[in-house]
Amino acid sequence: MAEELSKTEKLVRILSAILGVAFIVVLILVKVANPDFKLGMLLFFIVLIVLLFVGINVGFHFWSKRSKLDRSQTSTKVAEKLPPAITLEQARELAKRAVENEYYADYIPNSGGETNELLGKTVKSYVYTYKSKGVYEDDTYVIVMNRHFPNETMNILINPKPRDIDRAKTLAASHPEDEPSVEITERKNPLLGTEEIITKTTRESKKEKEKKEDDL
């Protein structure tokens, strides 16, 4: 990707130079055709054009660096939070073998399309999708898995609708939430002879967990 960005940046610089020179040539032609066009005004517009296209190049350069940094941070976040993802070839082989058992008794050796998407809200993870027609059954199989947890998240869909595939991708990308804390409050009224039990379910925030760990 870095090489593509470098090529794009070079292309922007070349186009900027061509356009800048073209504008300057047009201004010079206007000056030659119109003697009343002051030299100072010509120089002013030339300097303005040079500054404009230099600004475009500088702006694009910093935008490219920022985009590269954002992708690097995203990749680092994925690497820190999740186990390493299996390779695409490994994911492909797992998908092919998914229906080779007594329950499905079918084969899907040839892919009818596959995707590899970075999905998730707080933590991004790579979700792989493999689509193929069965050999023995006239069914379309769609295999969805999280490449970081392929065995735990594998979904085998048969003739699914698009919304079913999207839902499977979402489930594969999501992570189990922390176990809730259950607070039980028991209230007794001896005068009325009544008993009330209140159950409150809460989830600890990250700061609260860190504070508890520090206290320990």
What phi and psi, each to the nearest 5 degrees, are found at residue 133? -90, 140
Q: In terms of domains, do 17 and 72 share one?
A: yes
Instruction: Choose the final residue of a domain: 37, 56, 81.
Output: 81
Q: Structural domain of residue 186, as residue ranges?
A: 181-215
- Locate tokens 């899907």: which residue? 108
pLDDT at 181: 45
Q: In terms of domains, do 103 and 67 share one?
A: no
Q: In terms of domains, do 72 and 126 share one?
A: no
Q: How far is CA 183 from the centre of its chain?
A: 37
Instruction: Choose the final residue of a domain: 22, 54, 81.
Output: 81
Q: How far apart are CA 166 and CA 97, in angstroms?
A: 22
Q: In terms of domains, do 110 and 163 share one?
A: yes
Q: In terms of domains, do 105 and 150 share one?
A: yes
Q: In terms of domains, do 57 and 125 share one?
A: no
pLDDT at 50: 85
Q: In terms of domains, do 204 and 144 share one?
A: no
Q: How far apart are CA 181 and CA 197, in angstroms?
A: 16
Q: In terms of domains, do 167 and 146 share one?
A: yes
Statement: the pTM of the whole predicted model exceeds 0.85: no
Q: In terms of domains, do 55 and 125 share one?
A: no
Count of structural domains within the chain: 3
Q: How far is CA 180 from the centre of its chain?
A: 28
Q: In terms of domains, do 93 and 166 share one?
A: yes
Pair of tokens at residue 22: 């073209």
Q: In terms of domains, do 115 and 56 share one?
A: no
Instruction: Choose the final residue of a domain: 52, 81, 110.
Output: 81
For the chain (length 216 residues), average pLDDT per consecutive 10? 58 82 84 79 84 81 70 52 87 92 87 89 88 89 93 91 91 60 52 56 46 46
Q: In terms of domains, do 94 and 167 share one?
A: yes
The three-state DSSP-derived secondary structure of the chain is CHHHHHHHHHHHHHHHHHHHHHHHHHHHHHHHHCCCCCHHHHHHHHHHHHHHHHHHHHHHHHHHHHHHHHHHHHHHHHHHHCCCCCCHHHHHHHHHHCCCCCCCCCCCCCCCEEEEEEECCCCCEEEEEEEEECCCCCCEEEEEEECCEHHHHCEEEECCCHHHHHHHHHHHHCCCCCCCEEEEEEEEECCCCEEEEEEEEECCCHHHHHHHHHHC
